[in-house]
Structure 1
Amino acid sequence: MKFATWNVNSLKVRLPQVLQWLAETPVDVLALQELKLDQDKFPLAEIEAAGYRAVWYGQKTYNGVALLVRAPFEIEDPVLGIPGYDDPQRRVIAATVNGVRVIGAYCVNGESIESDKYVYKLEWYARLHDYLALEVEKHPACVLMGDFNIAPDDRDVYDVEAWRDKVLCSVPERAAFEGLLALGLTDAFRVFNQEDKQYSWWDYRAAMFRRNLGLRIDHILVTDALKARATECVIDKAPRKWERPSDHAPVVITLAD
């Protein structure tokens, strides 16, 4: 099986790219972030025509997440949002697919460490941690994937000094990321690739992609049961070169049966 995550930065704008990518890279589960669509505006007909089923949690203009699941796999026990957390922002979605509990997340950006949004980010991560602890306990085969808006260490940042103690790279954010790993999860990309300058997001400005000045903020975290099955985890930079691209690239993990 193949699982992938991709922040598409507006599904309305990027639907052609998503359909093209699925045709060329037929993953079994794709977690999408930043749909920027109302719940009733989701392009289900187009997704189904491409051979996928879907569950989604939409929000106009901002946020929004979805799981696309390739037929004939079923979407079982879907959950929208973090149970018990009255979050006005629609950022988390979960379902079981072929025995794997899949959680897709669009984590809070935080804006700047001086912002109230940064406080919200750390509080939000604490809620995610508690939710994930329960999910991992219930589902030995569990994957959390999405746009985490955290670069876990200095290898994941194109200019370490410029980003030091800034949002996405601050010590408390990185501690929150480590807290998720402490639940028994592994950063799947780093199982296979220990190099620096491996990024999943590049600003649209100043030819940042062409110059490979980016951050690795899109991640796939897996439990030990899935880590044992993992054969590859890569960042697919090809769609970032397409016309009207998202500023993020998909991350894909391959699991042996």
Structure 2
Amino acid sequence: MTSRPLRIASINVNGIRAAARKGMGAWLEEAAPDIVTLQEVRGELEHLEEAMPGWRVIADASLQKGRAGVAIASREECAISRVELGDDGLESSGRWIEADFEVGGETLTVVSAYVFTGEAETPAKQDPKWAFLDAMEHRMTELAADGALALVTGDLNVGHRPLDIRNWKGNVKKAGFLARERAYFDRILTPAGEPVAGQEGIGRGMVGELSDTRSYSAGATGLGWVDVGRAAHGEVDGPYTWWSMRGKAFDTDTGWRIDYHLASPALAPRASNYRVDRAPSYDTRWSDHAPVVAEYAIG
């Protein structure tokens, strides 16, 4: 595919047709990724091909027209593509797609994932999110087996730690920052085979199930995946990847870091040059999310 490290970008486009109208094409030309994973496409394959001429695109549209939708676009055709998550009872259409790329004699599996937003204390909306996260955790165990090179990207709709949400104190009871949701990431990101310590209650008076993730991982061991963004930036706030379109959230950088590159244990040491392509101003945004970009030495 290329003699230099693979540049892979992930972006929730908030509707591919709208993103194309607002300037996604100019960003693609400037950023020059080799592979792009897209979420919340809200369209069909033909709309992706119109928005990304010259790219080879695979996609899984949601069964609900105008909702969700994931895709992977590349400069060269992938070897194999799959929509493989959970059993037939899992509600996952338009939310998970995998592609294998052969590069220099090595195989890299790239995933575009779009996790449900969910809604606390609303089972009809939150239960599908629990089921999806269960299936995702199981599939990530399979993807990383035997030292495989795998990368799960996308809008995962969970802020893992207080560093990932500017207004975390106001969101401890809300979907996206619930203790049980964050516990999935504790398990996925703990070094392989090590006991999962979890996160203690955060903030004065915020204890127990409100903010303590430890009870959800009792006796569990880590999967060893690496959050490439957190590894690159260390213990700092953000950098955020999503800001509400309402009010001054973007201007004041009151955001959430919910778009990820999660690298399998074998792939993580090969990652470099992670960045969030935050728009220079509110009026130049072409999505409410920012692209997340990193490079990987393959082959």
Common fold by TM > 0.5: yes
Residue in 2 aligned with 1:58? 61
Asked whether 1:132 is paired with 2:172, we answer: no
SS at match of 1:189: helix
Asked whether 1:37 is paired with 2:43, we answer: yes
CA drift at 1:103: 0.9
Matches within 5 A, 1:104-253: 104-137=112-145, 140-181=148-189, 182-194=222-234, 195-238=236-279, 241-243=282-284, 245-253=286-294
Alpha-carbon separation, structure 2, partners of 1:244 and 1:167:
25
Greater Cα offset, 137-146 or 6-15: 137-146
How many correspondences in the alignment? 252
Alpha-carbon separation, structure 2, partners of 1:242 and 1:81:
38
TM-score (norm 2): 0.79
Is the contact between residue 140 and residue 225 of structure 1 (CA under 8 Å) also seen in structure 2? yes
Is the contact between residue 279 and residue 285 of structure 2 (CA under 8 Å) also seen in structure 1? no
Instruction: Tell me the C-alpha RMSD between the 2 structures.
Output: 1.9
Is the contact between residue 239 and residue 245 of structure 1 (CA under 8 Å) also seen in structure 2? no
CA drift at 1:143: 0.3
- The one-character-per-residue Cα deviations of 1:201-226 (angstroms, maximum 9, x if unpaired) are 00011111011001000010001222
Name the amino acid aligned to 1:248: H
Is the contact between residue 32 and residue 65 of structure 1 (CA under 8 Å) also seen in structure 2? yes
CA drift at 1:140: 1.1
Larger Rg: 2
SS at match of 2:257: coil
Match of residue 32, structure 2, among 26, 38, 60: 26
User: Does the C-alpha gap of structure 1 residues 183 and 95 become closer, same or farther in structure 2, counting only changes over 3 Å?
Assistant: same
Structure 2 unaligned spans of 5+: 1-5, 190-221
CA drift at 1:139: 6.2
TM-score (norm 1): 0.91
